[in-house]
Structures are given as C-alpha cells and as structure tokens.
Amino acid sequence: MKILKFLALLLAIGVGAYLLLVLLGWVSALLWYVFWIGLIAIGAGVSYKLFLSGSSEDTPKLEEKKPTAISEMENAERTLEEFKQKYLPNEEK
C-alpha cells in the first residue's frame, strides 16, 4: 500500500510539473505576442503622427518665405561695413 501511495504521489508531482510547464509556456507565448503587437502599434502610431505633422500649417518652418522690405534694411550697409572691419582681415598690399 505504501508503494502505491508513493507511485500516486510521484504521478501527481509529475502531472503538476507538466501542467506548470504548460502554463509557463502559454504565459511566455502571450507575453511574446503582446511585445510584438505593442512594438508594431508604437511604430504605427509614430508613423501616423509623422504623416499628419507634414501638412500642418501651425508648425513653424525652418525658413519662412517672407519678403523683406527695403525700408527694413536701412542700416544694412553700415552693419555690413562694421562686420567687414571687425571680422575680415585687411587686404593691404
């Protein structure tokens, strides 16, 4: 009778370990799929945001094509001369 109980205990431990490994496999597979689905979702979200941000008029541009009036350039020659005297070497021969 003791041997029968011992074999039943070994069988229960074996089946329990097998079920634990099956459960661990399912959990790891689900986590793996959640990881890849999340990665694809993040990539799709970032791509969508970048796609929409290209046509927005509210975002500042690198260079605006705004004409400059001549009246705004009244000190341009004097500033250019000061810049030449300060930063460019004299070309005396």
- pLDDT computed for residue 80 by the predictor: 77
Read off the tokens for 19.
């079920």
| DSSP code, position 59 | S
pLDDT of residue 31: 97
What token pair was written down for 81? Answer: 């001369």
pLDDT confidence of residue 20: 97
For the entire predicted model, the pTM comes to 0.46
Rounded to whole angstroms, the Cα distance separating 75 from 70 reads 10
- CA within 13 Å, CB half, 3: 0
Q: Which residues contact 59 (CB under 8 A, 6 or more apart)?
A: 53
The ranges assigned to domains in the chain are: 1-54
CA distances from 81 to 34, 64, 66, 75, 84 (A): 65, 27, 25, 10, 5
pLDDT tens by residue, the chain, 93 residues: 899 999 999 999 999 999 999 999 999 999 999 999 999 999 999 999 888 876 656 655 556 666 666 666 677 777 778 888 888 777 654
Q: What pLDDT does residue 55 have?
A: 61
Model pLDDT, residue 85: 81
